Homo-oligomer: A and B are copies of this chain.
Amino acid sequence: MKHIKTIAFDADDTLWVNEPIFTKTRLQFETILSKYFEIDNNLEHQLYEVELKNLRLFGYGIKGFMLSMIESAIELTQHKITGADIQNVINLGKEMLTHPVELLPGIQENLEWLKDNYQLIVITKGDLWDQETKIARSGLADYFDHIEIVSEKNASTYRTILDRYQINPSDFLMIGNSLKSDILPVCEIGGHAIHIPFHDTWVHEKIDKHTIGDFSFYELDSIADLKAYLNKK
């Protein structure tokens, strides 16, 4: 992999912990709603249905998630939820927005040596404001030459970014935890990709491995294995 010149990282659940914060919030949301009806396993699915319906309007990110929690709460309590509990739901979202950024193990050490040898980029999907404040709070901003926050990660998104910085796809490596957003579209445009799975994945990011088809990409257990991979032939 000695020809790689640019390495791009996904952010959420690649550089730092993200999905577990949503998972924890969903449980706290259930606790608020448990005053109104008996919670069953279906609640997570019902919330996801509302999120999915709103995605076209809200896009990704915590503010859209907050609005979807509020809408679900109104619907599932048959309009009985109190103003005080709606405020509790908003407060859950505000806690997410100020949650400390917890870096994944080995990230900082690896960025330290990578930055002297490669052009480094963050390519992250989501809400502009959320992602910018997270990057600032992470303390990682200075390791990266460019930070790209996009509304969707598909082949055309990657093509635009590579064109902007005049990067040849064959010199480009993307590292991320989502097969759908980080691996498949990069393979489609002829780039290289490394999948580092994370234990907790939002259902919306899950795709069947068949979708990847004949594209080849590497899977590493953690960023600790990256140096060995890059130094291979």
Contacts and interface: CB of A to CB of B under 8 A. Distances in A.
Nearest to A64: B63
Interface in A135-186: 149-151, 164
A94 B57 CA distance: 7
A77 B59 CA distance: 30
Contacts of A232: none
Contacts of A129: 58-61, 64, 127, 151
Interface string A63-93: 1101100110110010111111011001001
A222 to B, nearest CB: 30
A218 to B, nearest CB: 30
Interface residues of A, number: 35
Contacts of A223: none
A97 interface: yes
How many monomers of this protein are in the complex?
Answer: 2
20 contacts: A57-B94, A57-B98, A58-B63, A61-B63, A61-B129, A63-B64, A64-B129, A67-B67, A67-B90, A70-B70, A71-B90, A74-B84, A74-B87, A77-B83, A79-B84, A80-B83, A86-B86, A127-B129, A129-B151, A164-B164
A114 interface: no
Contact of A86 (B59, B60, B74, B98): B74
A132 B156 CA distance: 14
